Amino acid sequence: MAWRWLLLGVWLGAAPAVGAIPRLDLKPYPAAASGEQRWVIQLPGVLPPSADPTVSGNPADWRVELIVGKEVKVDCNRHRLGGQLKSESVKGWGYTVFRLVEPGPMISTRMACPPGEPLRTSFIKAGSKPFVLPYNASLPIVVYTPKDFDVRWRLWKAETRQQAAERR
């Protein structure tokens, strides 16, 4: 009888491994135009629960921040690049894509840096306001930028606690 359990164990072990969740189809999204590049963010469908009980585990309470910018050598001043992200609808599909428009030159404060302070490499973002989207693991986030820009993203999770507003 023990050999049957052994045989069952071998048979189950030989079963094909469950593959990863397949990547979404990018055919509806146009290729990048000349001088542009297309960035695709595939959000994870299931995230491990937070160790902090005050952070919501519900994806409806999460947001994704898109950060477009460049790695640049800078001094001690604060820097920012011109430009802003705009949403566009993909013709015939209705999906939303995001495009960096009006990328401009880098601006900075004009503080005097300490003498001899070396330049450092830093990621400088374009635009002055955060660009935040609802979390949706069902669709990729597609961003088009000029060739010399990079795209990063960050996940924001809300607290579970709601606070009452004061009526006046």
Q: Residue 22: what pLDDT?
A: 55
Domain ranges of the chain: 36-43+57-156
Please report, rounded to a whole number, the percentage of residues in the chain having pLDDT higher than 70. Answer: 86
The least confident of 4-8, 30-34, 58-62, 89-93 is 4-8
Instruction: Give me the residue label for tokens 């979390």.
Output: 135
Has residue 11 got a pLDDT over 50?
A: no
Q: Residue 18: what pLDDT?
A: 41
Average pLDDT for 156-161: 92
| Residue 59 Cα to chain centre, angstroms | 15
Dist. CA 65–CA 68, nearest whole Å: 10
Has residue 13 got a pLDDT over 70?
A: no
Tell me how far CA of residue 21 lies from CA of 18, 41, 42, 44, 137, in angstroms: 9, 15, 11, 9, 11
Dist. CA 140–CA 133, nearest whole Å: 12
| Residue 52 Cα to chain centre, angstroms | 22
pTM of the model: 0.79
Q: What number does CATH give the domain 36-43+57-156?
A: 2.60.40.550
